[in-house]
Amino acid sequence: MQEANQPQGVVASAGDSRADASLGRHQGEGDIRKDYFIERDGYRYAGTHLIVDLYGAERLDDLELMEQTLRAAVAAADATLLHIHLHHFTPNGGISGVAVLAESHISVHTWPERHFAAFDIFMCGKAEPERAIPVLEQAFTPREVCVKELLRGKVTIDDDDLFS
């Protein structure tokens, strides 16, 4: 629970259910600020950032479908939706927007006249951003999908104290 005098962020006890996330430094007497960094295969990192390009995609100008798809992608990734903001451009019908998550975001920019969409899916903690990709594929039926993965803030666990 967020304390009134604590800095913005998540304040949690050591017994928090997100077992994968590493604990940060003590922020005050009795409180531990949790940073939700991920530990895997000898590395610690802030989160997984997927760059997803859809080629030959359809219905990229459908604002209602885009919102429904973002909501479904968030749910599939086991993330927490805070807010969605979408803008519909005219005359070509492109959409730009973002689903703001407790774990970070999913952003989108579409070019329906080129049948192309660019999604950024960045999530920390226990969220599984890769599970959002099949939701995008089902909604927009692309001919080709290109995914690049970045592990943001990646350091070896042994070196992590150098940056804390």
Annotate 87-106 with b (16+ C-beta within 10 A) or e (fewer).
eeeeeeebbebbbebebbbb
Q: What are 86-111's pLDDT values in tens digits?
A: 999 988 899 999 999 999 999 999 99
Between the alpha carbon of residue 73 and those of residues 68, 69, 123, 136, the distances in Å are 9, 6, 12, 7
Query: Token pair for residue 44?
Result: 């610690």
Name the one residue in this structure whose structure tokens are 């995008």. 136
Q: How many domains does the chain have?
A: 1
Q: What are 70-83's pLDDT values in tens digits?
A: 999 999 999 999 99
CATH number at residue 102: 3.60.90.10
10 Å Cβ neighbour count for 164? 8
164 is catalytic: no
146 is catalytic: no
Q: What are 36-84's pLDDT values in tens digits?
A: 788 888 888 889 999 999 999 999 999 999 999 999 999 999 999 999 9
Which residue is catalytic, options 107, 124, 146, 164?
Answer: 124
> Does residue 6 lie in a domain region?
no
> Does residue 72 lie in a domain region?
yes
> Does residue 122 lie in a domain region?
yes
Which residue is catalytic, options 88, 105, 109, 115?
Answer: 109
Considering the entire predicted model, what is its pTM?
A: 0.76
| Cβ–Cβ < 8 Å for 51, 150 | yes
Which residue is catalytic, options 104, 107, 115, 164?
Answer: 104
> Does residue 119 lie in a domain region?
yes
What distance in Å separates the CA atoms of residue 59 and residue 140, rounded to the nearest whole number? 6
Domain that holds residue 100: 47-152
> Does residue 25 lie in a domain region?
no
124 is catalytic: yes
Position 26, amino acid: H
> Does residue 86 lie in a domain region?
yes
